[in-house]
A = this chain, B = another copy of it.
Amino acid sequence: MDRLSVSLPGLSLKNPIMPASGCFGFGREYSQFYDLSELGSIMIKATTPHPRAGNPVPRVAETSSGMLNAIGLQNPGLEKVIETELPWLEQFDLPIIANIAGSEAEDYIKVAEKISAAKNVAALELNISCPNVKEGGIAFGTDPETARNLTAKVKEVSQVPVYVKLSPNVTSITEMAKACEEGGADGLTMINTLVGMRLDHKTGKPVIANKTGGLSGPAIKPVALRMVYEVSQQTTLPIIAMGGISSAWDVIDFISAGASAAAVGTANFVNPFVCQEIIQELPSILDELGADHILDLRGRSWMRHGEAAGHRA
């Protein structure tokens, strides 16, 4: 039965469910809970050319139905990821999506070139939307021209398809999406976090050391859904959606909005089994909706009756 299999540029997924970058490390911790081979893919933690210590603490704060984080791209650096983390992940039957980040275009190019050559890296996710670093990150993700150029440069060196991760902190998400498409992106992932803040009641100072942080979790789902709905109608690029997904029905919502796959971030912290549970629940939901294949539901929020769905494996 392949009701869940999805084929996207570079990615032959047994199901369209994967943990979102930064919310699953490099998989080691969650491998204690279930067999990671059950997943469609893993979007690994952002990798930068050199090791990064990340931001001071506190790095997280809770908000109504959401959380703020400012981890600051802490990661062991390109070399360690290639030599240790990726080989460790080879034991699982999975294509890996490598999330790459940096402070300047050169950083992205360097990481893209090297990491895309790794055996199990099937696609890159260009993180041009991290709100938690002083330089780079979100700066690339809020100006269409910059995003287009960066995408084109990374495409030149990458041996695997390139997905660009969009920031929701923009006036026009479709403009950003189109710029990435023009730059040669093979797909989009969306959304990264919304910039937010929490203050300590007593002192009135920001709870997070970085002052602002990225808002994730169910609170942002309506915004993410709307953006996927808009972008999927305006570009032909496949979308891997994320933003508040914590149940199989949330996944159906994003597929209906026009996504072809879905990533789960914050919900892993609430329930470490959430990805596994979603994958197990999807078939019965497809039964309930009378759908043979999950992608038969793709775009049904905006598609006129009878139109065909796409990207089915």
Interface pair B256/A204, CB less than 8 Å apart: yes
Which residues of chain A (190-239) have a CB below 8 Å from chain B? Answer: 194-199, 201-206, 211-212, 215, 217-223, 225-226, 229
Whether A273 is near chain B, meaning CB under 8 Å from some CB there, is no
Query: How many angstroms from the CA of A297 to the CA of B300 in the assembled complex?
Result: 50
Interface pair A225/B204, CB less than 8 Å apart: no
User: What is the number of residues of chain A that contact chain B, defined by CB distance less than 8 Å?
Assistant: 44
- CB neighbours (8 Å) of A211 from chain B are 229
Interface pair A197/B215, CB less than 8 Å apart: no
- CB neighbours (8 Å) of A257 from chain B are 197, 199
User: Contact partner of A300 among B171, B204, B249, B301, CB < 8 A?
Assistant: B204
Interface pair B225/A64, CB less than 8 Å apart: no
Interface pair B66/A219, CB less than 8 Å apart: yes
Interface pair A64/B244, CB less than 8 Å apart: yes
Query: How many angstroms from the CA of A221 to the CA of B199 in the assembled complex?
Result: 11
Whether A142 is near chain B, meaning CB under 8 Å from some CB there, is yes
Q: How far is the CB of A44 from chain B (nearest CB, A)?
A: 27
Q: How far is the CB of A23 from chain B (nearest CB, A)?
A: 17
Residue from A196, A204, A215, A220 having most chain B Cβ neighbours under 10 A: A204
User: Contact partner of A289 among B65, B202, B215, B253, CB < 8 A?
Assistant: B202
Q: Quick one: copies of this chain in the complex? A: 2
Whether A282 is near chain B, meaning CB under 8 Å from some CB there, is no
- CB neighbours (8 Å) of A202 from chain B are 289
Whether A42 is near chain B, meaning CB under 8 Å from some CB there, is no
Query: How many angstroms from the CA of A218 to the CA of B63 in the assembled complex?
Result: 8
- CB neighbours (8 Å) of A212 from chain B are 226, 229
- Interface 0/1 of A153-186, CB less than 8 Å to B: 0000000000000000111000000000000000
Q: How far is the CB of A166 from chain B (nearest CB, A)?
A: 12
- Interface 0/1 of A235-273, CB less than 8 Å to B: 000000000100001001100110000000000000000
Residue from A199, A222, A253, A297 having most chain B Cβ neighbours under 10 A: A222
User: Contact partner of A301 among B196, B204, B218, B244, CB < 8 A?
Assistant: B204
Q: Give chain A's interface residues, CB within 8 Å of chain B.
A: 63-66, 68, 142, 169-171, 194-199, 201-206, 211-212, 215, 217-223, 225-226, 229, 244, 249, 252-253, 256-257, 289, 297, 300-301
Of all A-B residue pairs in the complex, the 10 with the closest CB atoms, nearest first, are A196-B222, A204-B256, A64-B218, A65-B65, A219-B219, A197-B226, A64-B65, A204-B300, A63-B222, A197-B225
Beyond the given A64-B65, A199-B253, A199-B256, please list 11 additional residue pairs across the A-B interface where CB-CB is below 8 A. Answer: A63-B218, A64-B221, A64-B244, A65-B218, A194-B223, A196-B223, A199-B301, A201-B249, A203-B300, A204-B297, A204-B300
